[in-house]
Amino acid sequence: MKTYDVVIVGGAIAGPVAAKFCAQQNLKTLLVEQFKVPREKPCSGIQFPYFEKIIGDSIPPERLCNNTLTKTEMRFPNGKVLQGKFPMINFMRDTFDEWLCLLAQSYGADFWDGCKYRSFEENDDGILVILEGKNGPETIQTKYLVDGTGMRPVIRQQLRNDGGFQKGSSGAALNYYFTADGDLEPDKLYQFWNIDFNNMMFAWIYNKTLADGKDYWVVGTGYDRDITKHLDAFFDHVKDLYNLKNVLVVKKEGYSSSMIMDGEDRIWLGDRNILMVGDAAGLIDLTRGVGMDAAALSGRLAGKAIGLAEKTGKPVIEIYERLMTQLVKQTRKNQQRGIMSFQDNQELQEFLDKGVMKMGLNMLVQARLNKLRSPEKQVMIP
């Protein structure tokens, strides 16, 4: 039987970042991902410059989309339009996540793709992990187990048959990739704040590079019901607004979660030597509209917590909870401000009237301060 200090499940954002920082501290680390990489993942793939600082390595240009996003256009229920400039990192999750897994490997972690986590049991030596690899079942003995399996977290749900999740879907997202002629600008992120189009955050349009190396528009939204109906209505609105002609949809992708987004139990960091990172810890933030930065930071801090626990002999979960205090506080605060609590566009507009200028200003200030802060003290924006 093979033994590792740390087994990390989920080769996306949180998992590989945790694996990199564990391996960097000379912990014998195994990262497993159920699919062969590169694998597709429905996600807008947009982040901010401090994301790279948290990861601690520069993202190679060939892992990014052709178009850098530098501008935003926010449209509100009352028809007002707010234009802004802000540098963003733009990538596809298949190529990006593959790079992160290889990065963890370059720091010394073992990486097995096409390897599914099945179950664990605790024994006198620590934790016994059962995996299903290319050659059948594999049993691994480890001291620490990290769950980076996203919004349907497998280890979390085995460890704690908890609140935090519901049966079936709690909400879905849908994207259409298309080509068209018209007035859309490829370096702009378009956000439509309107409950008719999206009742979880904003509906979006942006430009992405697919595996064929060509650029496509993406129109997408999230809704807790009737997702196709809402996206089709939004797409029709977009076609009119930006004079889109010769529209050809080339790909559709969808995603659903069972996480109760406004549930009190959503954020949970684990128990004993089993740590939750990224979306598995409930760190996706619909108020900010992103989750990869929090996933990367939690992965980095989980790695640090394990290293410190090894050195000091203190319980790893206590160290991890302490390191995560700021991120958890910010995510909980935003959770309480989630737009699903708004009944209609009027309520949403009142919220935006009060909040948008403050949010924009805060974003600029925090982005500057983040340049001065250490990677572990980054404050998430917007």
Ligand X SMILES: Cc1cc2nc3c(=O)[nH]c(=O)nc-3n(C[C@H](O)[C@H](O)[C@H](O)COP(=O)(O)OP(=O)(O)OC[C@H]3O[C@@H](n4cnc5c(N)ncnc54)[C@H](O)[C@@H]3O)c2cc1C
Q: Pick between residue 140 and residue 280 the one whose CB is nearest to ligand X.
A: 280
Residue 112 vs 242, nearer CB to ligand X: 112
- Comparison of 48 and 76: residue with beta carbon closer to ligand X: 48
Q: Is 164 a binder of ligand X (CB under 6 A)? A: no
Q: Which stretch binds ligand X (CB under 6 A): 8-16, 102-110, 311-319, 326-334?
A: 8-16
Residues in the chain: 382
By CB under 6 A, residue 154 contacts ligand X: yes
For residue 69, state whether it binds ligand X (rule: CB under 6 A).
no
By beta-carbon proximity to ligand X, the closer residue of 41 and 373 is 41
Question: Which of the ranges 244-252, 292-300, 327-335, 346-354 carries the binding residues for ligand X, by CB under 6 A?
Answer: 292-300
Cβ proximity to ligand X: between 147 and 310 the closer is 147
The piece of 285-293, 302-310, 352-360, 364-372 that touches ligand X (CB under 6 A) is: 285-293
Nearer to ligand X, 103 or 280 (CB): 280
* Residue 77 or 148 having the CB closest to ligand X: 148
Decide: 331 and 267 in contact? Cβ < 8 Å.
yes
Report the nearest approach of ligand X to the CB of residue 310 (Å). Answer: 23
Of 228, 206, 219, the C-alpha closest to 248 is 219
Binding span for ligand X by CB under 6 A among 29-37, 57-65, 301-309, 326-334: 29-37
> Quick one: which of 5, 21, 31, 47 contacts ligand X (CB under 6 A)?
47
Q: Which positions from 94 through 123 interact with ligand X, judged by CB under 6 A?
A: 116-117
Cis ω before 38 (30° cut-off from 0):
yes
Q: Residue 236: what residue type?
A: D
Binder among 74, 238, 286, 295 for ligand X (CB under 6 A): 295
- Return the range that interacts with ligand X (CB under 6 A); candidates 33-41, 74-82, 211-219, 374-382: 33-41
Cis peptide before 382 (omega within 30 of 0): yes
Residue 175 amino acid letter: N
Q: Which of 164, 282, 291, 382 binds ligand X (CB under 6 A)?
A: 291
Largest CA distance in the chain: 66
Q: Which residues are at the interface with ligand X (CB under 6 A)?
A: 9-15, 32-35, 41-47, 116-117, 148-151, 154, 173, 255, 278-280, 284, 290-293, 295
